[in-house]
Structure formats: C-alpha cells, structure tokens
C-alpha cells in the first residue's frame, strides 16, 4: 500500500498529494527557482521534510543553479542532482545554524554544514551535478568553525555517488560515527590549508572507490578524536578500503592518518591508487598526549608521483595538543603496529621512506616493504622500530645508503647499495 502524504507548499497554498515511494519529489514543485539569485533553502528543505515524513524516497533537484543555506536530510532519503545542476552555498553566515560538531578532534560549537544528516539510515546523495561551498569569507571561520560542505553524523548505510564538489579552506566531506559508508565516482576539489577532501572520523566500514580527489590539505584523512576523552570513548576509525582512486594534495598528503587518532585507527587498505602529496604521499602522524593506536595499515599496487616522500612517519610533534592529554611516560605516545606496503612504484620521489621521528619509549612494531621500484633522491631512513622486513627494494637514482637505521631491528636492513 503506497504511503500518501499531504505536502503544504507555503501559506494559503493548496495541498498536493504525492506517492513519495514511487515518484521523486521535485524541488521546483515546492517553490525552488533554480536561478542562482533567489535563495531556495526553504523550498528544498520543504521537499526533504516531506520525503522524510513519507518514510523516505527521492528528492529531485532538476537542472539549474540553486542558491541555498544549510539543508538537512532525513532517513531513507535520496537527494538526486540532475545533470547541469549546481547547489551553491549561500554567502550569509546566518544560513548555517550553530550546532555541536567535532572539529580537529574535540567537540565544540560550529556552523552546520551546507548538507547534513544526523542519526539517519540510508541517506544517499547521487547524480552528476555539482555542489559548491560558500565563499572564502565563511570558510575562513575557525572559532566557531565554518560550515563543512557535507557532514554526516551517526549515519548508517550512507552513499555519496557521481557528483562533483568544490570548496576552499575547510573540510569538504566529514563523516563522524558513521557505519557502512560508501563514496564512489566523486570528483572533489579544494584549495588552501584545512581544505581536506574527505575526513573519516571514528567510522566503521568505509569504502572509497573510483574517486578523483585533488585538494589543498589532505585528500583523505582518517581520524578518531584527540586526547583522553577520545581514547576513553574508544571509537576507532576501522575497516576502511580506499581503491582505484587518484589522490593529490597541493599542500600536505594524499592520505593522512592522524593527527587526531586517540580513539584508534585500524584495518585500513589502500589499493590500486595513484597518489601524490606536497609534503608526503602517505603521512602517519601524531604526538605525545594522543595515546591511541594505528595498526594494520596496508597498501598494494600504488603509483606515487612526484612527492617529497612516499611514506612519512612523525609521531613526535604533529598536531595541536589536546585539552586533556593522555598521561603516562609510555602511554602518552601512540602505538603503531603492522604497516605493510607492496608492489609500489615511485616516480621522482625525494625520500622513499622518512620514518625517524618516532618515540624511543614506544617504537613502531612491524613495517614490511616488498617490491618497491622507481626513482628517488634518498631511500629509506628509519629509527626506533622493531620487526622490520624489507625485500625487493629496487629503486634507483638515490645517493648514499639504501637503508639508514637507528635502533631498528628486523630483516633486510643491511643494504648499502649506491646508485
């Protein structure tokens, strides 16, 4: 039996009846203009609310330019962007209400995202249209944080597919406490610091596939909060697969793990990707006062284009100190275990592996590098590690020793080849 919902289209307008589970709700039927001049926030939100009230369905945004403030999606809702459709963030800060968000690892006040959903199952944003964030004057806001582009909190079975985003100086897509999330065929563009592409924050079961992400800050960043509260909460980011993607950062890393990682990061796979970063292609980063762990991080079939490093590891000084640092001489340091990378090709990389900023009190336990080829100016520098296994390292163009170590134990370390 079809659900029937009465949809009120403004004051003194006649009620219209739609079968929300059969026919998409068109935002123009709710008063949206799509001319890029008149704000369509209220009209689009009416369509989304009607869809949620009907138990779910599809809200269609047809071709046009839709100027809008913050929008919220309900459970079982698909927001479908037609071809030649653009959602454009309003320049007015009043269009983004203040809510509680997690920003840089701690909960605080911030402006609600351009598109958000909270504790909603089966949320989907799909289509070949585009989403443009608000202008730089808004993105610059840090206290309180300005609006992210898309922010999903506590959502299950969410899907983002096929559309393009453009933003600057703030996170584009932020996932917090989400389970079973998929991003596929997205094109994400940002510029300048804090312009992360996709931030995965204390989430379980994440697949990012066939995405083209070119950003100012980290293209993809994996996080889980910072400080003692996040460690005690114990909500890791885990079971993440990144495959068949092109990831590039013009300032930082293609893939960043940390610096907010007190809840833990584990079971991460990056496969069949082309990556490059201004500082590191892959950056594993943290500092004292974080505690937590990063474990079972693997990469396979990766091409690394011109980057200062393929893998950078800095566990000593990266990130803002937490307001409640994890105490203890050993426990304050992150535990890093089982890093494994194989079948990697690097092109014009400065340092193949730079992994010397590691606390003596808590060495990295387990680093495996197998079948590494390509060109670099310097090769592998390691400190304070156990259970290291190096094999088939066939890079050329470097000067000095292939492997430089300090307090490192394992196999394949005694290589001194010169090129």
List strand residue ranges (DSSP E) for 114-230, in order.
Answer: 115-118, 124-127, 130-132, 150-153, 156-161, 164-168, 173-176, 179-184, 187-191, 198-201, 204-209, 212-215, 220-223
How many domains is the chain built from? 1
How confident is the model over 73-100, as a mean pLDDT? 97
pLDDT in tens, 285-309: 999 999 999 999 999 999 999 999 9
In a domain, residue 79? The reply is yes
Residue 20 or 97, more confident: 97
Residue 13: per-residue pLDDT: 28
Mean of the per-residue pLDDT values of the chain: 92
Q: Residue 169 has what pLDDT? A: 83
Residue 6 and residue 10: Cα distance in Å, rounded?
12
Under the banding of pLDDT at 50, 70 and 90, the label for residue 5 is very low
Greater confidence, 170 or 138?
A: 170
Residue 230 lies in a domain: no
pLDDT band at 3 (very low <50, low <70, confident <90, very high): very low
Distance (Å, whole) CA 259 – CA 223: 7
Kindly state whether residue 177 falls inside one of the protein's structural domains: yes
323-361 confidence digits (pLDDT tens): 999 999 999 999 999 999 999 999 999 999 999 999 999
Higher pLDDT, 2 or 335: 335
pLDDT at 135 (0 to 100): 85
Q: How confident is the model at residue 12 (pLDDT cuts 50, 70, 90)?
A: very low
Residue 130 lies in a domain: yes
Q: Give the domain extent around 171.
A: 1-195
Determine the pLDDT at residue 191.
Answer: 86
| C-alpha closest to that of 363 among 379, 328, 329, 387 | 387
Tell me, rounded to whole angstroms, the distance of Cα 365 from its chain centroid: 26
- Identify whether 178 is part of a domain: yes
User: Which one has a higher pLDDT value, 12 or 88?
Assistant: 88
pLDDT digits (tens, 9 = 90+) for 379-398: 999 999 999 999 999 999 99
In a domain, 113, yes or no: yes
Instruction: CATH number of the domain at 21, please.
Output: 2.160.20.10
pLDDT at 10: 34
What is the separation, in whole angstroms, between the first and last Cα of the chain?
A: 74
Residue 266 has pLDDT above 60, yes or no: yes
Would you state the pLDDT for residue 22? 52
Q: How far is CA 390 from the centre of its chain?
A: 30
Q: What is the mean pLDDT of residues 9-14?
A: 30
Q: Does the CA dihedral 314-318-324-327 come out positive or negative?
A: positive
CA distances from 48 to 42, 64, 77, 180 (A): 10, 18, 8, 22
What pLDDT shows up at residue 414?
83
Q: Is residue 215 included in any domain, yes or no? A: no
- Four-residue CA torsion sign, 93, 99, 102, 106: positive
Q: Could you tell me what percent of the chain has a pLDDT over 70?
A: 93
Q: How confident is the model at residue 415, as a pLDDT?
A: 63
Q: What is the DSSP letter of 322?
A: P
Nearest-angstrom CA–CA distance, 17 and 37: 29
Cα–Cα distances (Å) from 369 to 15, 26, 270, 303, 381, in that order, read 65, 53, 14, 14, 13
142 falls within a domain: yes
Q: Write down the pLDDT at residue 418.
A: 38
Residue 9: is its pLDDT beyond 50? no
């Amino acid at each position: 039996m079809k659900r029937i919902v009465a949809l009120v289209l403004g004051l003194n307008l006649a009620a219209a009846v739609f079968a929300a589970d059969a026919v998409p709700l068109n935002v123009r039927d709710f008063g949206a203009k799509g001319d890029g001049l008149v704000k369509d926030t209220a009209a689009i939100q009416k369509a989304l609310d009607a869809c949620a009230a009907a138990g779910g369905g599809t809200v269609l945004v047809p071709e046009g330019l839709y100027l809008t403030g913050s929008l919220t999606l309900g459970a079982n809702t698909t927001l479908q962007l037609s071809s030649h459709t653009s959602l454009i963030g309003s320049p007015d800060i009043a269009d983004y209400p203040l809510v509680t968000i997690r920003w840089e690892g701690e909960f605080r006040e911030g402006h609600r995202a351009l598109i958000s959903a909270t504790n909603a199952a089966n949320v989907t944003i799909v289509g070949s249209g585009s989403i443009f964030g608000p202008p730089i004057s808004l993105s610059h806001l840090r206290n309180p944080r300005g609006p992210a582009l898309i922010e999903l909190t506590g959502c299950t079975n969410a899907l983002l597919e096929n559309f393009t985003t453009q933003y600057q100086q703030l996170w584009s897509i932020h996932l917090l406490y989400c389970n079973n999330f998929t991003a596929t065929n997205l094109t994400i563009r940002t510029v300048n610091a804090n312009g992360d592409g996709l931030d995965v924050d204390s989430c379980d079961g994440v697949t990012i596939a066939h995405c083209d992400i070119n950003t100012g800050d980290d293209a993809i960043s994996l996080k889980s909060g910072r400080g003692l509260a996040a460690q005690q909460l114990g909500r890791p980011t885990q079971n993440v697969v990144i495959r068949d993607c092109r990831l590039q950062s013009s300032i930082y890393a293609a893939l960043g793990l940390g610096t907010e990682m007190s809840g833990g990061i584990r079971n991460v796979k990056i496969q069949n990707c082309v990556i490059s970063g201004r500082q590191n292609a892959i950056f594993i980063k943290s500092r004292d006062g974080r505690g937590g762990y990063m474990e079972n991080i693997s990469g396979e079939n990766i091409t690394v284009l011109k980057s200062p490093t393929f893998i950078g590891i800095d566990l000593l000084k990266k990130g803002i100190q937490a307001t409640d640092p994890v105490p203890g001489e050993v426990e304050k340091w992150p535990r890093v275990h089982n890093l494994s990378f194989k079948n990697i090709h690097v092109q014009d990389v400065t340092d193949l592996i730079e992994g010397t900023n590691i606390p003596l009190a808590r060495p990295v336990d387990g680093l495996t590098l197998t079948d590494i080829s390509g060109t670099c100016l310097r090769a592998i520098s390691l400190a304070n590690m156990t259970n290291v296994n190096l094999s088939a390292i066939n890079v050329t163009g470097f000067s000095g020793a292939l492997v430089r170590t300090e307090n490192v134990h394992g196999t394949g370390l005694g290589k001194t080849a010169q090129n």
